[in-house]
Structure 1
Amino acid sequence: MKIGLYFGTFNPIHVGHMIIANHMAEFSDLEQVWMVVTPHNPHKQKSTLLDDYQRLHMVHLATEDYAKIKPSDVEFKLPQPSYTVNTLAHILEKFPQHEFALIMGEDNLNSLPKWKNSDYILAHHDIYVYPRISVTASELKNHPRVHMVAAPVVEISSTFIRESIRDKKNPAPLLPQKVWEYIDHNNFYKK
């Protein structure tokens, strides 16, 4: 089975993430998409980052009605900070029967050459890239392992959602309903 790995802090997961994940699962040759919840990055401020398991729970809530989209906590058990090349090695060891690809935005494709062992990643894994507004085309877009996917351009940010909640605005339409209910019930992001 060919599985696309879609990494993110998902703080919180929103409809933009789901639109991209579903598009990749339905309109590419990927058979499943795994939403890989990334634990805290030690180089980023943690004040607005919910607990790993709360974010994982929101991904479960968002994906439960989508047979081809699965939540994954695989990085929770790995040394921090998480490097994609290490996560890929761990997943391949755990699931040797599957083929794994990466899903990323065009902005991340531009920074890929700076990633740890990016040459190895490009040599061994397909990369499915969704468009972003105002991004300079990457030199890698013509690489044989890179697949530019004409997914909808969605410019919704988790930061905007958190700030909206803090400012007592209603961002509910930007979130899967069960995720919004969970956030609202638990008073997340209000401070």
Structure 2
Amino acid sequence: MNIGIFSGSFNPVHIGHLALANYLCEYEGLDEVWFMVTPHNPLKEEGELMDDKLRLELVQLAIADYPKFRASDFEFHLPRPSYTVHTLDKLKKAYPEHLFHLIVGSDNWLLFSRWYESERILAENPIIVYPRPGYPVNADSLPQHVKLASSPVFEISSTFIRRALSEGKNIRYFLHPAVYARLKR
């Protein structure tokens, strides 16, 4: 199967994440998208993150009714900070029957050369880059195994969600209903 690895903090998961993953399954040839909840992104401050188990629970709540999505705590069991190259290596070893495609936002793609062992990731893995507002990518300049998705651009971020929640805003339509209910508790 063609599995998309959508790795991120999902701090919290929101409808932009879900709509993008849905698009990638339906239009970009992925059989499933695995939401790889990352315990600590080396490019982010750890203090910004909600609890790991809460973020995983929120993803599980958000994807429960769609059979092409899977929540994963795979990186919780790897050394920290987690590096994508190690995750991909371990996934290939654990699930040799699957072809893993790394899903990366255009904002992160522009920083990709800063990723740990980025050249090896490029050489050994197909990558799908999705558009993010303000971070244009020229499809003609992409390396061989990198594809620019034609997905809609979602102008929503977890930072916006956290800020709105802290301000007491009712943002129920930016989140899956089960995620909104859980966060309100």
Normalising by structure 1, report the TM-score: 0.91
Contact 1:141 1:147 in 2 (8 A): no
Gapped regions of structure 2 (runs ≥ 5): none
Q: Deviations over 1:83-139 (max 9, x none)?
A: 100011111111111111101111111111221111111111111111122214258
Q: What is aligned with 2:148?
A: 148
AA at the equivalent of 1:86: H
Contact 1:63 1:71 in 2 (8 A): yes
Percent identity over paired residues: 43
Q: What is aligned with 1:33?
A: 33
**1:120 partner SS:** helix
Contact 1:16 1:156 in 2 (8 A): yes
Shift of 1:74: 0.5
Give the whole-Å Cα distance in 1 for the aligned partners of 2:127 and 2:21: 14
Q: 1:42 to 1:86 in 2, by over 3 A?
A: closer
Q: What is aligned with 2:177?
A: 177
Shift of 1:46: 4.1
Give the whole-Å Cα distance in 2 for the aligned partners of 1:16 and 1:36: 16
Contact 1:35 1:69 in 2 (8 A): yes
Q: 1:148 to 1:11 in 2, by over 3 A?
A: same
Aligned residue pairs total: 185
Q: Deviations over 1:1-34 (max 9, x none)?
A: 1101001111110000001111111111111100
Q: What is aligned with 1:189?
A: none
Root mean square deviation of aligned Cα? 1.6
Q: What is aligned with 1:14?
A: 14
Shift of 1:140: 7.9
Matched, 1:130 2:133: no
AA at the equivalent of 1:113: S
Q: 1:152 to 1:83 in 2, by over 3 A?
A: same
Contact 1:3 1:34 in 2 (8 A): yes
Q: Deviations over 1:143-191 (max 9, x none)?
A: 1211111101001111111111111111111000000001002xxxxxx
Q: 1:141 to 1:181 in 2, by over 3 A?
A: farther
Normalising by structure 2, report the TM-score: 0.94
Gapped regions of structure 1 (runs ≥ 5): 186-191
Give the whole-Å Cα distance in 2 for the aligned partners of 1:2 and 1:73: 19
